[in-house]
C-alpha cells in the first residue's frame, strides 16, 4: 500500500484533531465535515479498502465498529449517528486507507446516494 495522509497522521507528522486513540485505531475530526459531527476512525494497520481486507483483518474490522459506538457515546450522539465506509474511487473513497466516517448532529435522508 502506498503512503497516505492517514499514515502521516498516525505517525503525528501531520496534525489532526484527535478524539480517540489506542494501539489499534485512531479517530479524528474530518477537515471537510459533512455534518456537525464528522469523525474518521482508522485502523493503525494499513488496509487500503474493505475489499482488500483478509480474514486476518476480521478482528480489527469489528473493533472499528465497536469503537465507533463508544466514540459516538463520548460525543453525546449515541442514539443518532450514521457510519459510512466507502470502498473504491467510484464509491467516493478518496484516501486509500480504510476509514469509517461517523456522522451526526443533523438529520440524514434515505437512501443516502
Q: Is residue 77 part of a domain?
A: yes
| pLDDT score for 112 | 81
| pLDDT score for 10 | 97
Catalytic positions are: 99
Q: In whole angstroms, how large is the CA radius of gyration of the chain?
A: 13
| pLDDT score for 1 | 61
Q: Is residue 63 part of a domain?
A: yes
3-state secondary structure of 38: strand
Q: What are the two backbone dihedrals, phi and then psi, of residue 73, each rounded to the nearest 5 degrees?
A: -60, -45
Alpha carbon distance 51, 90 (integer Å): 13
> Which residues span the domain enclosing 89?
5-104
Q: Is residue 61 part of a domain?
A: yes
Q: Is residue 113 part of a domain?
A: no
User: Any idea what the CATH number is for the domain that residue 80 is in?
Assistant: 3.30.428.10
7: Cβ contacts below 8 Å, ≥ 6 apart = 46, 97
Q: How many independent structural domains does the chain possess?
A: 1
3-state secondary structure of 54: coil
Q: What is the pLDDT along the chain (113 residues), one digit of tens a residue?
A: 679 999 999 999 999 999 999 999 999 999 999 999 999 999 999 999 999 999 999 999 999 999 999 999 999 999 999 999 999 999 999 999 999 999 999 999 998 86
Alpha carbon distance 3, 24 (integer Å): 18
| pLDDT score for 83 | 97
Alpha carbon distance 33, 58 (integer Å): 28
| pLDDT score for 23 | 97
Per DSSP, the chain holds a count of helices (H) and strands (E) of: 2, 5
Amino acid at each position: 500500500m502506498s503512503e497516505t495522509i492517514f499514515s502521516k497522521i498516525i505517525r503525528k507528522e501531520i496534525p489532526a484533531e484527535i478524539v480517540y486513540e489506542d494501539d489499534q485505531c485512531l479517530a479524528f475530526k474530518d477537515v471537510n465535515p459533512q455534518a456537525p459531527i464528522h469523525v474518521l476512525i482508522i485502523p493503525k494497520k494499513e488496509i487500503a479498502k474493505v475489499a482488500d481486507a483478509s480474514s486476518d483483518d476480521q478482528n480489527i474490522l469489528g473493533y472499528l465498529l465497536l469503537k465507533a459506538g463508544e466514540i459516538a457515546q463520548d460525543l453525546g450522539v449515541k442514539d443518532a449517528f450514521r457510519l459510512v465506509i466507502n470502498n473504491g474511487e467510484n464509491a467516493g473513497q478518496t484516501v486509500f486507507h480504510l476509514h469509517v466516517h461517523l456522522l451526526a448532529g443533523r438529520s440524514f435522508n434515505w437512501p443516502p446516494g
